[in-house]
Every structure is written in structure tokens, then in C-alpha cells.
Chains A and B, each alone.
Chain A
């Protein structure tokens, strides 16, 4: 990689598991370098001492390795040629195709000025009632699935992506198994949408620290299409827990004091920098958008762990999947799931009764959960309890299950039908102006 005019350093003074240090001059912070061809980045400068983080690890690096500074931060060449291609964490093709030509853009660029954003207001229809009815998604939103590793989050995410009518879908895979990678590839290719998909993949076979580049690569590509091509871009990031794990590896090797759950103290800012790239631009700058749907895997459903906890404070809601044993299907859990932006479209872009119907149904579903607890504790159930339980089964089966595909109007009609079937008017607690119309 060295060219005639670059200075080559050949004396490394210190090597740890992840870093190499050497004496060098004129080096910029964040700058890239190669060490015997391996990519590394400047993470610390103290006088002449420069510390480099080596992405693939330092195994095999000798003290006399050739170090060449590249004079720039990690970057990606962006152009329309990105569409339909698969890349690794460095933005190099892994699909055997040609190298992409285009403008070289540094990744991890500056944030959007908040006053140049537009309030998101465009509904993303997924056909899944657990999402559209209870946790409506809006373009420009950032929302993760909180899921245990055995849950079908990748399948749901792929389905959502394909139904979402995005101009581009950008997949950032971090620590993804090869099987899941092939799943996405086949699903998108079978749907005939490969030409609007761009993937940056780091599989479990690749070095863990490389993962840290994936979200920035994916989002740099997303910003290109959203800002310059004014497109609606959907970014899928799976799995952000692997990303955070890599952060903790690096901070540990840099001798930083860990905070909760061995995560670096800067975890919140690190995650926010990624998720806040989600944006809706106003018409004046082309009206493009970036929507981020991510996956945060949990360990044993524990959401107090630092990764899901910090994520929850950053993202605009979260979606939980759960197997409902009563109906034997995977449902979108209505209790813990939340889309914070839903009120921007619910009742505004959808039918006016949307919010009230949604809340009433969830309240009754909660009553059913209480009845279930009563039943399990051996108490007698009242007539109301029994009706709640019957309602909850129908509700889970016809609406919450992830195999549902309806439009929101149909979802609302189905819910009203269930209300009428099981309850009295005063039990649903809905504003009179709506019961007058829909309680028939």
C-alpha cells in the first residue's frame, strides 16, 4: 500500500492484544495506518508516541513491521454503484464484483443540525398489527427489536424491510452468523429486491473489532442516498449487542475504567452517535429520510443490562417479540413494546379512533393477564375475567401475531368486532364520539 512519498516506520515500541505503539510525527487523530498491510487507526497521541488500534488484532505483528500512515480517517466511496452490492467492514466488496467508484467520504461524519430536521410524519406500513396498530413506525424513526437470541427477529426485520416500500435498504450485519447472512441474501434476492439492497457484513468469522466500522459504513451510504439522492432509506442493524461487546473489548484493552456491566462509560454517546443518524429531511433539502431498525439481543430477557438500557433511552421505542403459549404463535408484545412516534401518525394519518381503540384493547389485554394470574393462583374467575381471557386469545391470534398482514383500517375494524363480541359499551372506556360511529 505504501507509495513513493509516504514515510515508512519500522520500529514498533509496544504491542498489546489490540494496539501497537510507535514513535511518529505529523500524525492526525483518528487517522488510518497499515501495519504490515493490516488496517489500524490512531486512538492516542502523546507527544511522539502514537498508539494504533489494529482492527484484526495484533497476532503475528513483529516489532519491525512496516507502518504506513494513510493521512485520512476510515472512508467509503459512495455512488449509485453501491446498490445491490455486499461489502465487508472496510467497504471492500465481498461478492466478487468490481470495486465501487465514487466520491470518497469519511465515515462517522458530523450530525445533522437539529433545526434542519423535519418532524417525522410518514407512516411505514408493515401489515403487522402488533406494529402498525399498537406501535406504528414512522419514517425517520430509530427503533430496535429487543429479543432473545432464539427469537425470529431477523425474519421479522426482513419482512418489515420488504414491505416498507423504501427506496434503499441497507443492511449492517455485526457478528452475524454466516447462516443469517445467507438468509438475508436469499430473502432479498427471492423478493427480487436485490438491486435496492446494500449490505455491510461482519460475520462471526471476522475479527470482532472490525464490527465497530459497520454502523458508520452503513450510515455513510445511507446519508449519501438520503441527502444527495433524496431517497427513503431503511437501515437494518443486527446485532447492536455484538457492536457494544466490541466497544467493551477495545475500552478494556485501552485500560479505561468500565462502568455498568463492563461497558465503557461512553456507551450512551457511542450508541447515540449511530442511532441519531436517523432523520427525516424537509422538502427544502429533498425530503429524504433515514429510518433505523436495529436488533439488540438480550441475555435472558434482561433489559436492565447496560446495552438495552442505554439503547432504550436513545431509540424512539422498542419492539419485543414473545411466544404466546395460548395461541402458539410469536406475537409483538403489546405491554413492553412502544413506538414513541406513533402519536405523530396515529389518528392523523390513520383513522381518528386509532389511539383510543389501541389503548382500550391493550387495557383489556392487561385485564386478561390479571385474570390469568388469578386463574393460576387458583381463584374463581368472574364473568368479566372469562370474557377478557376469550378476548385476549382472539386478539393475539388475529392481531398481535407476526403472521398477520392487514391494513390499519382492517385492524381497527377487527378490534371493534372483538370489543362488541366480548364486552359491554362501558367496559371499553372509549370516547363517545367514536362509540357512536363504530359500536354498531
Chain B
């Protein structure tokens, strides 16, 4: 293997003089003071190679030796990843010693000694291609497929396959014979370079299946779909992380991968403190059982931050290849972009807008492009739904990361400072936010079949009312309460009903935090009935007091357990109020 010696150091960018061939993106280890520092090649100029070091370079001297590995940044994929807390380079954080992260400490991502109950799915003589399913093990009650090597070319024949029984991940569970007649021994572990997308599926259609999140402003107003993409931009303090955590707790997914990318460590702590206690509302099992955390918090090395989102995406692709529904959340993609900027700056590249690298847009769109709903080669389906947060500088959405993300993500959940200041949470702006999926005929068809054919028209009608309500609120601000007709106040307060009852949701209330789809349908119908009723009031004060009372009742209803006596009682009171209102 190629060797190099350190010839220069600027922060985490190191130049090496090498004695042999080097690959762009290759991983090497630099030895200094007894530590081995992992680094990635980012530029090659003749014998001079620029690498970004994933650790602190303190004390590194000219002349230190670097050993190249011949491979790019890879992850190990296999059973045993669920419930794990990894860093951005897939080190198992729980296996690391000491309170502090020691430099140069790398741990195995998978447990080599754990035994798995294996069941074969293929049999000798079967023809298989890369990623085809050979067998199955079960982790946390989730069946996981053992697949033919992802990198295998052409078709191979199964020569032998292990009998049902217990095996370790590195035991040979199958032998395949490839087209050249060579035997390939297959174990349960795959390796994949994180920067390359896995394209081991037959087809990627437009996604159409609603992904239930239990968050009303998403499911009812701007739904996301299985295999869809969305992003949540918002200034600090508007509740990006709370919203993301709510989605990751409640969404109907088989696997949830959370990439905490350059964010606060305490937010990760919150996940691994709470998730082991919380119950997945769809399966009744512990939430942690389906969750993987990739933690590269803001104080961890910057270069590994960039790697962390790719590590998370590659894991998601692995599970998708098994026909599972994966939800991937990255908080925040802006930090990833900033990591790119720091490095581009040290490389003295000509900067693009706001000093970000010129290829930022291409990187973002390639990354979002890896999500999606797919038909696998065996006809099964799998999906990666990707939701990223964006932290726009100064809360200004006209900045490169937001703008480039907007071009590729299909759902936009814009968090608004004004709503957050008024404690109208989740602070998703109801007017500017959108879901392109609402316009997909495939999606409309799906909703018609699985909910009813009135759902989408009703949602669109309420959206129009929100828009109208906002316009009227502006007029009232200019003309005064008495300066507009009483009817205007009614229109405004109808939009307030929609806001308070559907859009606002208390993420910290046990009941209100999650609204199952069935309950959302009831709320949608109720709010539609309230809005479609024609009211007549003597003056605007009557309007205000009537609707405030109504809002209060609806909120009490939202706080009541679904289908409880209390729930029905509040609902009845609301319906009575509507029925008795003067026409």
C-alpha cells in the first residue's frame, strides 16, 4: 500500500508527500504521538496529496507517516445496527472508553460475536444478482435480509447456502458461483463507500403513499409520502428540532435513522434518554428498537460532520434494499454545508455565494436524489423518506442552502419567527409551506382509496380559507375592527379556528402530541362543518366572543383522549354551538 509523509498542516487540512498511487477520496491513517488519525484525500497535485483529517491535528509534525488503505470512506452494513449510537464515521459511541472522546479511538460498528437466528430464503441452484435476498435474520423483531454482495457483477448461481441455525456475522452463510466460475463466500456483512448511491433496485416511481406522522399540519395540510423528500427551514428557536423529534417518534416507518449533524449534544441525549422509554404507536415496541442515531454534534470534528449525513444515507439504502420503509432525518443540513465551506476555504478554492463552494447545489440535489420509493428486483418495495432541516443564516430564506434545497425537496415546511413568538406551535407557516404531493394524481388516487374522496378537496378549501383569513387580518390591521364589515371578522375567525384546531398542536402534551389519521379525519370534518356554516352576528365583538369560546372547546377536545367520554362531550358541545348559531 502507498505511504505518505506529512509535509504541511493547517488546522485539519494536511498535505502529504506520497510514494505511490492514491485514489481521490481514499482513506489514510496518519500516525502521531501514538495516535492514528483517520483522513480522507480531497485533492491530488502530483506527489502532493491534500487530506482532511477527521480529528484534531494538535501536535502533528512534518515527517509523520501516513498509511493509505486503498479504499474510500466505507460503512459496514449488517445485523446489529439497530438501537446503536454511532458517530459520523460509524464508530460505536457506547464502546468508546472514558468520558471524553479520545483522539484516534475507533470502534467496531458491528458485534462480531453476537449470534443470529438465520433462515435461508434462497436455495442451491438459484440464480441471483447483487442485493438479492439469500436469507433472513431477525433483529428487534424486525426481519432483516442477508443479501448477495452489493458490488457483485452479473448473475451468480447459489452453490450452497447455510441451513437454518445460529451464526455470527462473519460466518459464511452462502457460496455463490459467478459467471467466471469463481466461488464467492458470502457472510452477513456488506461494505459500501458512503459517497456512492446504491442503485440496486429495478425502478424508482413517483412516490404516492401517505406517510403518517401524527402531526396535523403535515398529514392534513401538507402531507409527506413514503419515499418523499421534505425540508424544514427556520430561524433558531422556531422549533425545528422539536418538530423533527415529533416526526421521528410518531412516523409510520420500519426504521428511523437520525443524523444529528453539527447540532447540540443535548438533543442527541434527549433522543437516547427518551426513545428507550417511548412506545412506537404503530407496533407497540420500544421506539429505540427501530432507531439508529448518527451523532456528530457541533463540537465533534468538522470533517466527520460532512461524512455523517452520507453514513446515515448509506445505512438507509441498506435497509431499503431489504424492502423496508426507512425514515431518515438530518438535523441540520446547513451544518453539513458549512463543513464543506470550511474545507473549501482552507483549500483556497474560489468561493461561490456566501463563501460556500460552487458545487453546493449539485451536492445537495445528489443527496436528496438518493431518497425515494423503489421497486426492488424481486418486485418488493422499499422506501427512504428524507427530511432535512435547514438553519438559514439570520433566518433569511434567500441564502444558498435554502435556495438549493428548495429546488430538490418536494415538501417545504417553513418555520416562522412570528408564529413562534406568538407560541403558535408547530410554527409551520400555513400559507407559504407546501407539499407537491398534494398535486400528484397517484397520491389523490391513494387517498381516495384509503381515506375518502372528500379529503383532498376539503384540505384545499381550508387552505384557501387560511389565505383569505390572512388577507383580511391585514385589512383589519389597516382599517381597524370597525372599519371592515362584520362578515370579514367571521372569515378571519374561521381561519383562526383552522389554525388553533388543526395546525397548532402541543408536542409536549401526551394526548395532543400524536393525532392518528382517523382522528385527523374527524377534526378535518368538524372544522370543515364549522367553516361552512353561515353565521350572522350583530357586531364584531359577538364574533370574537363566539369563536373564542368555540376555540376553547375544540382545544379541550384535542387534549382529551380519543373516543373518551370527555372527547365526545366536547365534540358534542362544539356541534351544538354550530347548530344553535344564528344563521
Task: Point out residues on A near B: beta carbons under 8 Å.
Answer: 25-31, 43-48, 73, 106, 109-120, 140-141, 227, 256-260, 265-266, 268-269, 272-273, 276-277, 279, 281, 285, 303-306, 309-310, 312-314, 316-318, 335-336, 338, 340-341, 343, 355, 359, 362-363, 366, 373-374, 377, 379-380, 382-384, 426-427, 429, 431-432
Contact = CB atoms under 8 A, between A and B. Distances in A.
Contact of A117 (B269, B300, B421, B544): B269
Contacts, number: 197
A339 to B, nearest CB: 10
B481 A110 contact: no
B266 A341 contact: yes
Nearest to B103: A110
A257 B268 CA distance: 32
Interface in B240-273: 262, 264-266, 268-270, 272-273
Q: What 9 A-B pairs come out closest when comparing CB atoms?
A: A304-B394, A272-B298, A276-B299, A312-B236, A379-B480, A28-B59, A259-B355, A46-B8, A119-B273
Given A29-B61, A47-B7, A266-B345, 5 more contacts: A111-B299, A277-B299, A306-B393, A312-B236, A379-B480
A112 B266 contact: no
B190 interface: no
A259 B236 contact: no
B552 A429 contact: yes
Contacts of B354: 259-260
B57 A265 contact: no
Contacts of A110: 56, 100-103
A367 to B, nearest CB: 10
A259 B334 CA distance: 14
Interface in B263-292: 264-266, 268-270, 272-274
Interface string B7-23: 11110000100000000
B393 A26 contact: no
Contacts of B61: 26-29, 45
B101 A113 contact: yes
B59 A269 contact: no
7 contacts: A28-B59, A47-B7, A47-B8, A111-B101, A316-B264, A382-B541, A429-B551
A432 B555 CA distance: 10
A112 B58 contact: no
Contacts of B466: none
A335 B421 contact: yes
A415 to B, nearest CB: 15
B403 interface: no
Nearest to B85: A115
B548 interface: yes
Interface in B509-566: 541, 544, 548-549, 551-552, 555-556, 559
A313 B236 contact: yes
A137 to B, nearest CB: 13
A377 B537 CA distance: 26
Interface of B: 7-10, 15, 56-63, 85, 93-94, 96, 98-103, 235-237, 262, 264-266, 268-270, 272-274, 295, 297-300, 302, 332, 335, 338, 341-342, 345, 351, 354-355, 391, 393-396, 421-423, 477, 480-483, 508, 541, 544, 548-549, 551-552, 555-556, 559
Given A30-B59, A45-B9, A318-B237, A272 B299 contact: yes
Contacts of A265: 338, 341-342, 345, 355
B353 to A, nearest CB: 10
A258 B544 contact: no
B542 to A, nearest CB: 11
The residue among B236, B295, B302, B396 with the most chain A CB atoms within 10 A of its own CB is: B236
B59 A380 contact: no
A303 B417 CA distance: 12
Contacts of B262: 268-269, 272
A382 B481 contact: yes
B107 to A, nearest CB: 11
A25 B6 CA distance: 13
Given A115-B272, A272-B262, A276-B298, A366 B422 contact: yes
A116 B266 CA distance: 11
A40 B266 CA distance: 35
A114 B265 contact: yes
Contacts of B393: 260, 304, 306, 309-310
A286 to B, nearest CB: 10
A257 B480 contact: no
Given A30-B58, A113-B96, A269 B338 contact: yes
B276 to A, nearest CB: 12
B117 to A, nearest CB: 28
Contacts of A363: 422-423
B555 A429 contact: yes
Given A343-B508, A359-B423, A111 B100 contact: yes
A312 to B, nearest CB: 4
B46 to A, nearest CB: 15
Contact of B421 (A141, A258, A314, A336): A336
A117 B549 contact: no
B552 to A, nearest CB: 4
A273 B299 contact: yes
A110 B99 CA distance: 10
Nearest to B338: A268
B230 to A, nearest CB: 20
Contact of A113 (B57, B93, B264, B391): B93
A29 B548 contact: no
B454 to A, nearest CB: 30
Given A28-B60, A113-B101, A269 B298 contact: yes
A309 B394 contact: yes
Contacts of B299: 111, 272-273, 276-277
Given A44-B9, A47-B8, A47-B62, A114 B548 contact: no
B58 A73 contact: yes
A343 B510 CA distance: 13
The residue among A48, A110, A383 with the most chain B CB atoms within 10 A of its own CB is: A110
A276 B394 contact: no
A80 to B, nearest CB: 20
B101 A112 contact: yes
Nearest to A346: B508
A268 B335 contact: yes
B264 A276 contact: yes
Contacts of B58: 28-30, 73, 106
Contacts of B270: 119
A115 B265 CA distance: 9
Given A113-B96, A309-B393, A314 B298 contact: yes
Contacts of B298: 268-269, 272-273, 276, 314
